[in-house]
Amino acid sequence: MSRSTVRTVFGAGSLARLGELARRERMSRVLLVTDPGVEAAGHADRATSVLRDAGLRVVVFDGARENPTDRHVRAGVDAARAADAEGIIGLGGGSAMDCAKGINLLLTCGGEMSAFRGDPPPEQLALRPPLLPMILIPTTAGTGSEAQSFALISDNVTHEKMPCGDRRPPEAGGLRPRWAILDPELTRTQPGSVASAVGIDAIAHAVETVGSTAATDESRELSCAAWRLLEGAFPPAVADAADDDARRDMLLGAHLAGAAIERSMLGAAHACSNPLTTRFGVVHGRAVGLMLPHVIRFNAAGRENPYQRLLPDAETLVRRVETLLELGGIPRRLPHYGVREQDIPTLADHAAAQWTARFNPRPLPAEAALALYRAAL
């Protein structure tokens, strides 16, 4: 199996190694970025205790929120400056980890979040100072953000998601963490609705990355490994939060799918989901899941089936995804979220303009996005 994109510590109880790893990266004063839910679950207290036992000074910033905006990032930068932080720890779901990355960018480089939008070329990255060392610790099995050199930060005014990247290697000061800690025990406290939505998001990552126009043999190997873990573990994981084997496989599968994104990017399901989140408040994983079966059919109708490494027949893949959506209690029609026919042209225009649309195996002009949304009515 292909390697992850970051150094990883994996296993039950591995949070206990946080202090050791922070010391190894020469951190002595750290900002711990998290959110109120993770703090209420006791995970932030555990992480803080481990860090302080290792002799580190810790300031906790619990201002991360779902779909973090540049305002949340700016508040975290203020906290990091007040703490004179030498390292950043991100603890939580994808939003907390993305917020930690955004804080690192602005704290180190200054300016506005919008200035970091995109995927800068190496010659531009060479002009940036190295970012602070960072350790990311997911508490959900979903985004795989801990394996990626991008942060998704929403514009505070438009709420449009801005992918902000820095692909320098971690040791050269890029946005990927120095370490990722994958402790399945931390996912025990996921509410069922969260576990379902983020799990479907991870499954969509595996599906979309395998068919991306930027996919490589290595990224497809990661996508397939992630798919095998996720599609097998999702049913028992949503049925029983205490199933240790299922939670372990979901966490590892989500991480591998995140590593595949780092190498290959995503596609039309994510392009179509983002406007649903920004304009109708649909939870990201639910929005992606709703669109995924229609996108699979659309892409498989091209010259060749881009998903045949997952399952030989595209319609079989669609049926499997639909079964997983049903098991996860994910609504599969747009009217459930208040989306009407008259809303679709605007949604389609925004979907076609999404960064992820350019990596879809078939072109996604607004007309194609329009048809995908109509199929989901």
| CATH number of the domain to which 18 belongs | 3.40.50.1970
Cross-strand pairs, 118 = 164
CA 90 to chain centre: 13
Indicate if 243 and 303 belong to the same structural domain: yes
Q: Quick check: 114 and 151 in contact, CB under 8 A?
A: no
Q: Which two tokens stand for residue 131?
A: 């970012």
For residues 212 and 164, membership in a common domain is answered with: no
Which structure tokens are listed for 49?
């205790």
Q: What is the β-pairing status of strands 7-10 and 134-138?
A: unpaired
143 with 203, same domain: the answer is: no
Q: Are residues 172 and 261 both part of a single domain?
A: no
Owning domain of residue 312:
190-375
Domain count, the chain: 2
pLDDT score recorded for residue 303? 78
Residues 60 and 174 in one domain: yes
Per residue of the chain (377 residues), what is the pLDDT tens digit? 345 679 999 999 999 999 999 999 999 999 999 999 999 999 999 999 999 999 999 999 999 998 899 999 999 999 999 999 999 999 999 999 999 999 999 999 999 999 999 888 899 999 999 999 999 999 999 999 999 999 999 988 887 889 999 999 998 999 999 999 999 999 999 889 999 999 999 999 999 999 999 999 999 999 999 999 999 999 999 998 779 999 999 999 999 999 999 999 999 999 999 999 999 999 999 999 999 999 999 999 987 899 999 999 999 999 999 999 999 999 999 999 999 999 999 999 999 999 999 999 999 999 999 999 999 99
- Is 342 found in the same domain as 235? yes
Instruction: Examine the domain organization and report whether 151 and 220 are in the same domain.
Output: no
Q: Supply the CATH number for residue 201's domain.
A: 1.20.1090.10
Which of 166, 186, 206 finishes a domain?
A: 186
Instruction: Report how many helices (DSSP H) and strands (DSSP E) the chain contains, helices first.
Output: 14, 8
In the block, residue with structure tokens 């490994």: 225
Q: pLDDT value at position 302?
A: 84
Same domain, 205 and 228: yes
155 with 211, same domain: the answer is no
Q: What is the DSSP letter of 239?
A: H
pLDDT of residue 1: 39
Beta bridge partners of 61: 33
The whole-number pLDDT of residue 4 equals 65
Cα separation, 310 vs 228, in Å, equals 8
Is residue 151 one of the residues assigned to a domain? Answer: yes
Q: Is residue 276 a contact partner of residue 337, using CB atoms and an 8 Å limit?
A: yes
Please indicate, yes or no, whether residues 213 and 260 belong to a single structural domain of this protein: yes
Residue 2 counted as domain residue:
no
End residue of a domain, out of 135, 155, 186: 186
Please tell me whether residues 78 and 127 are part of one structural domain.
yes
Torsion angle defined by CA atoms of residues 6, 9, 11 and 14, in that order, rounded to the nearest 10 degrees: -130
Percentage, residues of the chain above pLDDT 90? 90
What is the model's pLDDT at position 33?
A: 99
Q: Are 118 and 164 in contact (CB under 8 A)?
A: yes
Contact indicator for 230, 202 with CB cutoff of 8 Å: yes
Tell which of 135, 156, 186 closes a domain: 186
The closest of 109, 120, 180, 123 to 150, measured between CA atoms, is 120
1 inside domain: no
> Do 18 and 126 fall into the same domain?
yes
Predicted TM-score (pTM) of the model is 0.95
Sign of CA dihedral 157, 159, 160, 162: positive
